[in-house]
Amino acid sequence: MILVDSALKRRQAEGRPVKVGLIGAGYMGQGIAKQIEAHMAGMQLVAISNRTANKAMKAYLDAGIASSKRVATVEQLNDAIRHAGYAVTDDPNLLCDSDAIDVLIEATGDVEFSANVAIRAIDNKKHLVLMNAELDATVGPLLKVYADRAGVIVSNADGDQPGVMMNLLRFVQGIGYRPVLAGNIKGLQDRYRTPETQKKFAEIHHITPKMATSFADGTKISMENAVVANATGFVVGKRGMYGPKCKHVNEAVNLFPAAIMLEKGLVDYVLGAEPGPGVFVIGYDEDHTRQLYMKYFKMGDGPFYVFYIPYHLPHLEAPLTAARAVLFNDAAIAPIGRPVCEVVTVAKRTLKQGQHLDGIGGFDCYGVIENANIAREENALPMGMSEGCILVKDIAKDETIHFSDVELPEGRLIDKLWREQEQYFGKR
C-alpha cells in the first residue's frame, strides 16, 4: 500500500489515472464503484458492464457520477473514455476489447460467465482482477499460464481472504520467518445450510441467498483456501481441513500438526475465534536467537508464532489490486504452477438419478477442499463445474460426486479449460 498510494498520487498529478473497467454491478460491484470514484486518487472507473445496463448506471449515480453513456460498440466505448466520460453496457466483451482500459475487475461471481470474460480479457492483453475464488480454484493455474504468455497480470483480489492472507504471508517472509500455515478465522460452518436457511441473513446483508449459503456451508472457505494453496504450494492435512475451535486466534499455534506444517505447509482455518472475521499466518523461527525479542513483544515463546489481521475489506481493497497490476506488474495472489488443492463436490442431501445439480450455494451440494493428487485419483467432480450437471445414478448424503456420476452440460468453456489444465500439467 505504501508504494501504491504514492504511485497513484503521481498518476493523479500527471493527469494519467489508471483506467479501470468493472464487470458486474451487484452488491460488491456497487461498493467498488463508489470506492474508486469517491476515494481513490489516480484511478478512474471509466466503464461498467452489467447484465442490465440500468443497474450499471445506478452504480455510477450512487458513486456520485451524474452522467454515464450507454454504449453498444467498442468505438463508442473508446470515444466516451477519450472524452473523459463514463460508459455503461450490457456487453462485457466491449470492456475486454477496449484499448482505452488498463485493467478489468471481474465481480460477478459466476464461474462460466467469468471464465469467458477472463479468456477474452487475457487474449486482449488486459490485466485482470478476479473477485471470484470459485473460478480461480477451478482453473486459476491455467489462467496464469495464459496471462504469462500474454504478458499481463491475473490476480485474485486483495481485500478478499486469499489476497489478505498472501499479503500477510509476504510480510511474515519479509521479516525473516518461514510461513508454515495460512488460514481463515471463521465464525460458522454447517455443511447443510441452504438458501432457505440463509434467506434472512442474505436480506439483511444485501447479498444473494446462494452466496450466503456458500459462506455458511464451507464451500467458500474451501475455494478461498484452494486459491491460497495454489499460490503457495501448501496442502491440506486432511479432506476439508482440520478447522479446530478456539477462543482466540493466538491459540492456533498449538492446534495444527507441527510435522506437516514444517514439511509441506498447510492451508486451514480456526472456528469461532476472535478477532474475526480475519486471517492468520503461522510463521516458524529458524533463528532461535530472536525468541527473546518475540517474547518481549508478547508474541509467545516460539518457535511458531501467529500473525493475524482481524478484518478483510473486499470492495475497499480490490481497487488496490488493480493498481498493483498496472503500476507494478504485481499480483496480490496468483498460482505458482500446477494445482495443489481442488474443491470437490459432495452431496448435501440424498440425490436422485436424473437430477440437475444446482451448484455453489444451493440445496444439493457443498464443496470440500482436497489435495489435487487425491482428487484426481478419485476422479472427483470439481465443485466449480457442478452446476447444471445431470446425475446418472443416485447419490447418498455426504457422498463425494465423481465425473462418472454425472453428465456435463454441453458447450461450456469451464469444462474445456479444466480439461486443458489437466493436460497441460500432466500426471502428478
d(CA 145, CA 417): 12
Q: Is 182 helix (H, G, I), strand (E, B) or coil?
A: strand
pLDDT (0 to 100) of residue 1: 54
Nearest to 334 by CA among 133, 65, 66: 133
Place of cell 478512474: 44
pLDDT (0 to 100) of residue 207: 87
Enter the pTM of the model: 0.95
Total number of residues shown for the chain: 428
Alpha-carbon dihedral 248, 249, 254, 257, rounded to 10 degrees:
140
CB 285 within 8 A of CB 306: no
CB 193 within 8 A of CB 122: no
* Terminal C-alpha separation, the chain: 37
> What would the grid cell of residue 360 be?
455453489
> What would the grid cell of residue 96 be?
475486454
Helix and strand numbers (H, E) in the chain are 16, 15
Q: Is 124 helix (H, G, I), strand (E, B) or coil?
A: coil
pLDDT (0 to 100) of residue 130: 96
d(CA 89, CA 51): 8
d(CA 47, CA 96): 11
pLDDT (0 to 100) of residue 292: 87
> What would the grid cell of residue 181 be?
500455515
CB 213 within 8 A of CB 205: no
Per-residue pLDDT of the chain (428 residues; tens, 9 = 90+): 578 999 999 999 999 999 999 999 998 999 999 999 999 999 999 999 999 999 999 999 999 999 999 999 999 999 999 988 899 999 999 999 999 999 999 999 899 999 999 999 999 999 999 999 999 999 999 999 999 999 999 999 998 999 999 999 999 999 999 999 999 999 989 999 999 999 999 999 888 999 999 999 999 999 999 999 999 999 999 999 999 999 999 999 999 999 999 999 999 999 999 998 899 999 999 888 888 889 988 999 999 999 999 998 989 999 999 999 999 999 999 999 999 999 999 999 999 999 999 999 999 999 999 999 999 999 999 999 999 999 999 999 999 999 999 999 999 999 999 999 999 998 65
